[in-house]
Structure 1
């Protein structure tokens, strides 16, 4: 069952059969137009948590791949039962993903699974680009190959400037809170802050621990977010919204300072 995966032993046991079948179906639909398939998100950063994490997958095809076949692929993968919280799959043309860009640019954005609202979008012009740029950056840095050509032979890294712009957009999105778990808002903000400091993408829990250590004023909030993140998505804890907003405001200021080339001061104490 796992023979179609490049390195099945590197995949969490709960996902091996599912990802092997995802690869098989994608190969069957895409045929010779398939360039590669790789995982981003928690799978790429070695932080997949069963019952909490999504499966984030990128598919790259030759630009000659027909749109009716893109729709067929979406239908085929929608019928495949996802054992994780959900599947977030994005399909790109090879010429698009092979050049640095700040656009969303996908041909398919598919969300499906037990805890995700279903979506099959074929028009990237209506989507907020920042999620896709960040995922491509993570893919270039640490993408876990599932099938085909090595990731760095296919994916171009977005520029640091574009990544910072997208980080800022993501923080502003999380400040609104709609549709996002409170713990994920906090942990994504920690990851964004660590990226500003290191120019590297880290797993949420690793980044959160780094910020909790360097910013003790926010440690209680981050510790509670980590405690919540260890629970199933359906059993996540609430966080004090005022504390979340205060943290996100500090992170946004830190990102803006980084974009201006300024040093980011630490937070001295809780108010």
Structure 2
């Protein structure tokens, strides 16, 4: 692991323990760090904290104050941190269920949500169940027992529903106009690849690895190769290409392909 990232994660856990004390029962790196695909200068840092029980508003606000970028500078684009009650983490619920959520960093807008009810529906409520599914498989323990013993996976029906919701959310976003490469469309395509691999093969992979897996098994979608190449400096797909691929993946997961 990158030394700056390791130092940051160590400091983050120490700060969380200062706030929560013995109520902090686990801390886990998720996302690209958990999946072994962290890319300095590009990736976010995703972390899940697990508390022994529900947090008070005072504890939530103290966590935010100690962990936001201004207090603990994040070496990446930003930190996306979510804290869960241990019972929620173990429940396998598809609902958001978090105690507090923080987005903070030099390259992302600050966001603090202290209650799932305050999460705007338009921003998507599917992220959390999917993230906990990834944590169940690949969460990297920073503190506490193995992630698979702390986070329950989703049921197959809930997983399928949330994957469809996620792709529908993406498809509802404005499509970049024109026939020129569009920033961010490589991420849109590779995120869809990850969803499709999870649906077909029952495994979460990092985005580029998921795209390569589809290519290796004979998926001839040119847009996948273009999206992978964009991670190494090539032009990303156009908006129309990305949305068409996402629609294809959504239809397959929803059972409408062919």
Fold match (TM-score > 0.5): yes
Shift of the 69–247 alpha-carbon distance from structure 1 to 2, 3 Å rule, reads: same
Counterpart-to-counterpart distance in 2, 1:40 and 1:52: 15
Matches within 5 A, 1:154-165: 154-165=150-161
| Structure-1 separation of matches of 2:212 and 2:236 | 19
Which residue of 1 is the match for residue 96 of structure 2?
A: 104
Aligned to 2:195: 192
SS at match of 1:50: coil
Q: Which residue of 1 aligns with 2:136?
A: 140
TM-fit CA distance, 1:145: 0.1
Deviations 1:161-215 (A, max 9, x none): 1111111111112213459921111000000111111111111111101223322
CA drift of 1:64 comes to 4.9
1:72 to 62, 84, 90: 62
Cross-structure match for 2:111: 119
1-side partners of 2:96 and 2:173: how far apart? 22
State the partner residue of 1:268.
Answer: none
Match of 1:223 in 2: 225
* Aligned counterpart for 1:250 among listed residues 223, 248, 251: 248
How has the CA–CA distance of structure 1 residues 51 and 101 changed in structure 2, closer, same or farther, with 3 Å as cutoff? same
Distance in 2 (alpha carbons) for counterparts of 1:247 and 1:194 = 14
Deviation per CA, 1:6-47: give whole Å up to 9, x if none.
xxxxx3323011111101101110101011000111111111
SS at match of 1:133: helix
Equivalent position to 1:28, from 1, 13, 18: 18
My pick for the range that moved more, 75-84 or 237-246, is 237-246
Measured on the aligned residues, the alpha-carbon RMSD in Å equals 1.9
TM-score by length of 1: 0.85
Is structure 2 residue 184 aligned with structure 1 residue 181?
Answer: yes
| Contact kept? 1:33, 1:64, Cα under 8 Å | no
CA contact under 8 A between 1:52 and 1:229: conserved in structure 2?
no
SS class of match (1:99): coil
Aligned residues of 1:105 and 1:125 also touching (Cα < 8 A): no
Structure 2 alignment gaps of length 5 or more: 176-182
In 1, Cα distance between equivalents of 2:135 and 2:99 = 17
| Structure 1 stretches lacking a partner, 5+ long | 1-10, 266-271
- Does the 8 Å contact 2:137/2:147 carry over to 1? no
How many Å apart are 1:97 and its aligned residue?
1.1
Aligned residues: 244
CA distance in 1, matches of 2:101, 2:126: 14
